[in-house]
Amino acid sequence: MMGTQLIRLVKASIPYVFSVSLAFGIAGLILYLGGYDVVSSYRTILTASFWNLNSFFLTLTKFSTLLTMSLAFSIPYISRKFNIGVEGQYLMGALGAALVGLAMSAPAGIHVVISLMAGVALGSLWASLPAFLMARYNVNEVISTIMMNFIARYSVIVFAMSLWRDVASGHPMTIPISDTATLPLLNPSPPLSSGIIFSLAIAALLYFIVALTVVGYELRATGTNPRAAEVFGVNTRLLMPLSLIIGGGIAGFGGALDVTGYYHRLIDGMQSNYPSLGILIALLSKGKITFIVPVAFFISVIDVGTNALQRIERVPIELVLILEGLLLVFILVSESLRWWRK
C-alpha cells in the first residue's frame, strides 16, 4: 500500500519537478546571456538563507507569511474555488490589526489578541462579498477577488496617509502601533517574531480539520465532484463560499501577524510578492497542507537567495521577477495539462 502511494506521489510530482527545473534552466540561460556566473548565482540562491543567523531568521519570517498566504489560497482550492484575492485580504487584515494597535489601549496580552482577531475578522469580511456574489449571482470568484485587491491597496494608502501617518517618512506608512499590541520575540537580536508559531499552529489546525473531520471530508468531496457530493447530502452551495471566507480570514491573520510581529506598523506595499508566491506554493503543493509547509520553506529560501543575488552578483531585480514569473506560468501550464489528460 505504501509502495503504491509512493509511486502515485512520484508520478504526480513529475510535471511540477519538470516545471521548476525548466524555469530555473531558462533563468540560468538568461543569466548566462547577461554575462553572469550561473553556477555562483545558483549557489547564492540556494545557500544565502543559511549564511548566518540573521539570514536564517529572515527566511523564517518570510516563511511564516508565505505559509499563511498559501493556506489562504489552498482551503478554497480544495473545493475548486480560486481565491486570487489573498493580497487584498492580507492588507485588510493588516489594516485591522494596525487600527486596533493605534486606536485603543489594553493590557499587553489582551491587546495583541484583539489585534489579531481584528485582522481575521476584516480578512473574512473582505472575502465575504466575493463569496456572496458567487453564491447568489454566480459571479466568477477570480474576477471579484481580483477587483477587491485594488480596493484594498488604495484603502491602505488612504489609511497610511491619514490620522496616524508617519510624517517623518517619505513613504506612506503609519506611526508604530502600541507596544502592548506587538507579539513577543522568540529571539531579540537578530529579531525573530513568535508569529511563526501561530502560522505553524494554523497549518496544523487546518490539516486536522481537512483530513480528519466531517467538514473537511465534505470540503474535499465538493472539490472532487460537487454533483455527487450534493447527491449524498453535502451542502456544496454553502461550503464553496464558506471556503472563500475561511481563506480570507487566514490571509487577514497573516497580515495581522506581520503588523503585530514584524513591521509594527501599516506600510503601503508591505504585501510585497507574498500573495503571488503563496498561490505558487499552493499550486506546487496541489492544495495539500502536508506539502505546503516544506514547499513554503523552499520558496522562502529561494526568495531570500534571489534578493541576495542582487547584492552579491549585481543581478537586476527584473531577472528575479522573471524567475518567479516563469515558475508560476510553468506550474499553471502543468496543472492545466494534468486536468486535460484526465
pLDDT tens per residue, range 99-135 = 999 998 889 889 999 999 999 999 999 999 999 999 9
CA R_g for the chain? 20
- Residues in CB range of 141: below 8 A, 6 or more apart: 76, 81, 82, 83, 84, 130, 131, 133, 134, 244
- Burial class of residue 270, CB neighbours in 10 A (0-12, 13-18, 19+): buried
The β-bridge partners of 174 are: 165
CA-angle at 273, arms to 26 and 251, nearest 5°: 135
Residue-wise pLDDT for 281-317, tens only, equals: 898 888 889 889 998 998 899 888 888 887 787 777 7
Q: What does the pLDDT look like over 189-229, one tens digit per residue?
A: 888 999 999 999 999 999 999 989 998 899 898 888 888 88
d(CA 231, CA 88) in angstroms, rounded, equals: 35
**173-185 burial code (b ≥16 CB/10 A, e <16):** bbbbbbebbbbee
Phi and psi at 192, nearest 5°, equal -140, 120
Task: Say which residue, 21 or 247, is predicted with more confidence.
Answer: 247
Q: What are phi and psi of 92, to 5 degrees?
A: -70, -35
**Per-residue confidence band for 6, with pLDDT thresholds at 50, 70 and 90:** low
How many angstroms separate the CA atoms of 153 and 165, rounded?
16
DSSP secondary-structure letter at 184? P
* Single pTM value for the model: 0.90
H-helix or E-strand spanning residue 134? helix 108-137
CA distance 242 to 74: 13
Neighbours of 261 (CB within 10 A): 28
Q: 220 or 21, which is more confident?
A: 220
Query: Could you read off the pLDDT of 70-99 as tens digits, one per residue?
Result: 999 999 999 989 999 999 999 999 999 999
- Residue 192's DSSP bridge partners are 187
